[in-house]
């Protein structure tokens, strides 16, 4: 079973961090209610400005026995966090925890469904 980490930018605005936390909680509830595939849980992490950091979340998950993590970059575009920071954090984690599998998905903005979501929102 795997754990999904929704990795977001982070903000000094507490409301912004709360939105990400609420999204991760909704996804976690959905996974547990629907029995979605082989996902055990969904959690969130931030790259800067607020906690929990991606590194902290990875450490906590390893400590709790999670042996597979999928990092979903919750970013609209492929900036430095998507291209550099998340891959570097995963590279470090792979070295530190060789018995844990790590995967990084495509970032949010590149997914085809985003186009439909935007058009549905503005025309709906």
pTM score:
0.95
User: Please, what's the b/e burial string for 108-120 (b: 16 or more CB within 10 A of its CB; e: otherwise)?
Assistant: beeeeeeeeeeee
CATH 3.40.50.10470 fits 2-123, yes or no: no
- For residue 108, the model assigns a pLDDT of 97
**Cα separation of 111 and 103, whole Å?**
17
Question: Contact at 8 Å (CB) between 44 and 5?
Answer: yes
- For residue 1, the model assigns a pLDDT of 77
Which residue from 89, 14, 107, 102 is spatially nearest to 47, judged by alpha carbons? Answer: 89
- Strand pairing report for 2-8 and 68-73: parallel
Sign of CA dihedral 90, 99, 21, 111: positive
Instruction: Please list the alpha-helical segments (H only) found in the chain.
Output: 14-34, 54-63, 80, 86-96, 112-123
- For residue 90, the model assigns a pLDDT of 98
Q: Residues, the chain, total?
A: 124
- pLDDT, averaged per 10 consecutive residues of the chain (124 residues), comes to 95 96 97 85 97 98 97 97 98 98 97 93 89
């Amino acid at each position: 079973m795997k754990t999904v980490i929704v990795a977001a930018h982070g903000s000094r605005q507490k409301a912004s961090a709360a939105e990400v936390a609420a999204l991760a909680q909704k996804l976690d509830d959905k996974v547990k209610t629907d029995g979605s595939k082989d996902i055990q849980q969904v959690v969130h992490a931030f790259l800067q400005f607020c906690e929990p950091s991606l590194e902290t979340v990875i450490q906590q998950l390893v400590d709790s026995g999670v042996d597979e993590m999928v990092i979903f970059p919750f970013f609209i575009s492929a900036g430095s966090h998507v291209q550099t920071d998340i891959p570097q954090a995963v590279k470090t984690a792979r070295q530190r925890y060789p018995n844990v599998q790590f995967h990084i998905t495509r970032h949010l903005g590149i997914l085809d469904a985003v186009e439909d979501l935007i058009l549905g929102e503005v025309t709906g």
